[in-house]
Amino acid sequence: MMAGASIHWMNWDSLFLILGPLQSSRGNVVFLEGDGAVNHAWGYDELEVLKTLQLDINEERPEWVDRVSFPAKAKESLVTHPLFTREGFVAVIHWTNKSIHDYIEINFSRQSCALDCMNLVRADRFRNDMRELLAPHAKDGMLSYDVSVICEWGRLERFPHRSEQ
């Protein structure tokens, strides 16, 4: 089983009770996180653009806006839950090269910037704000930065299905 960048939106108590019985006796649950730039030169200013966007598209200030900080702190765990026993964890930082256009557009694949949460005028303003912010950091239209990818795996407490009882 594998859970990607959406698990933080789920109710872990319910999810783990459902997934536990589905896990094979030899299998692990794997949690992955990481596709964003870390500790990049434009990070603080980008965070301000993202916070402004969130205040524009939400009726009230989202809780996560006040939890995000720059520079990012290294995570020691992705999942802390009594039904999960961690067996391994690895964090890798790798360098990447991406066009300004691609860097901006990937934001729209995240829930906090999903295009269905804003009108086209606001989306275009975000694109323009980001282009203006990123241009001084690019060479020939390309940004170079580090990306942190975290992988954690382990076992979920296994409760029998009702048919097994």
Q: Collapse the DSSP code of 25 into the 3-class scheme (helix H, G, I; strand E, B; otherwise coil) and give the result.
A: coil
Q: Which residues pair with 149 in a beta bridge?
A: 92
Indicate the pLDDT class of residue 162, thresholds 50, 70 and 90. Answer: very low
Query: In angstroms, rounded to a whole number, what is the distance separating the alpha carbons of residues 28 and 51?
Result: 36
Contact 77, 150 (CB under 8 A): no
The domain ranges of the chain are 2-164
- What distance in Å separates the CA atoms of residue 157 and residue 81, rounded to the nearest whole number? 10
Beta-sheet pairing, 29-33 with 142-156: antiparallel
70: left (phi over 0), alpha (psi -120 to 50) or beta: beta
pLDDT mean across residues, the chain: 84
Could you give the percent of the chain with pLDDT greater than 70? 90
pLDDT tens track for 96-143: 889 999 999 988 887 678 888 888 999 999 999 999 999 999 999 999
59 vs 13, higher pLDDT: 13
- Residue range 22-60, pLDDT digits in tens: 888 888 888 888 777 888 899 889 988 988 888 888 777
Compute the distance between CA of residue 126 and CA of residue 137 in angstroms, rounded to an integer.
17
The hierarchical CATH code for the domain 2-164 is 3.40.50.150
Rounded to 5, what percent of the chain is helix, strand, coil? 40, 25, 35
110: tokens are 């995240």
